[in-house]
Structure 1
Amino acid sequence: MRAHSYSLGMIETLGLPALIAAADAAAKAADVKVVTYEGADAGIVTVYVIGDVSSVQAAVDAGADAARRVGRLLHSHVIPRPDENVPKMIKNLISPAEKKEETPTLSHTLSGLADQSINDLRKLARSYTDFPLSPQEIGTAKKEELARLLEEKQKGGGEQER
């Protein structure tokens, strides 16, 4: 089995304010990327950060301290070079090797617009300068409608902002 070249850090808190404080502190403490968060149940939430081992360790330490100050820290942990199957267990984790950009681009999404999350479809729709829906309408549009309009944009062309 292969391992990833980055490290994965996790900070688990009770409540969103502590999680946001932890994510903010982690991002400011070291050169890491806060990639996603997940909610479990009963207010338990986990934020995930990636980067090199020493940066992730510093970020997780700073994030854990911030979570303790703001609310309740449950756990924190760093996995150096996680096995390639570990990131697949985490919903919405963006692996640096798998995706180079956070915002979905046309080439990433054409193969399966229906398979994309509603948030990814909304980000993609907002990236067009001439999308037929306003930003407010994009925010309330149904997934099927966004996928249909994005497919029409793909067929007819259209410029994405950069």
Structure 2
Amino acid sequence: MPIAVGVIETQTFPAILAAADAMVKAGRVTIVVQDRSESGRQFVSVRGPLSEVKRAVEAGITAANACPGFAEVTTHYIVPNPPENLEAVLPIAFSEESEPFWV
């Protein structure tokens, strides 16, 4: 089963909260990180099977764009089968905190 990482970036925290909520409800994915980028935008990353991540990212984009105000998705990306060296540098691996939620 190919594992993937999906990332969504928005302008506001309410939009990223809506995106994260929709993502975990739409697919069998685990949130691995939520943070603010240096530009002040919010982002959330999920991890799971490739097909589930694709479905979750689509749902997250729809939910974030539906938030009122200046809440559009600025960018999104899916990394299928991330290599181990990418996991060593970026915070995209399952952590002890997220591991219990991975089903």
TM-score band by shorter chain is 0.7 to 0.9
Specify which of 21, 25, 42 is matched with residue 22 of structure 2: 25
Q: Per-residue deviation at 1:42?
A: 4.0
Contact kept in structure 2, 1:16 and 1:43, CA below 8 Å: no
Give the structure-1-normalised TM-score. 0.53
Within a 5 Å distance, the mapping from 1:1-162 to structure 2 comes to: 5-70=2-67, 71-91=71-91, 93=92, 95-96=93-94, 99=95, 101-102=96-97
Percentage identity across paired residues of the two chains: 35
Give secondary structure in 2 for the equivalent of 1:85.
Answer: helix
How has the CA–CA distance of structure 1 residues 21 and 73 changed in structure 2, closer, same or farther, with 3 Å as cutoff? same
How has the CA–CA distance of structure 1 residues 46 and 88 changed in structure 2, closer, same or farther, with 3 Å as cutoff? farther
Deviations 1:18-69 (A, max 9, x none): 1100000000001000111121134311100000000000000000111111
- The answer for unaligned runs of 5 or more in structure 1 is 104-162
Greater strand content: 2
Give the structure-2-normalised TM-score. 0.81
Letter in 2 for 1:11: I
- The answer for unaligned runs of 5 or more in structure 2 is 99-103
Greater helix content: 1
Q: Per-residue deviation at 1:102?
A: 1.4
Instruction: From the CA coordinates, give the structure whose radius of gyration is larger.
Output: 1
CA RMSD of aligned residues (A): 1.7
Q: Per-residue deviation at 1:7?
A: 0.5
Structure 1 runs, 4 residues or longer, greater than 4 Å off? none
What is the total number of aligned residue pairs between the two structures? Answer: 94
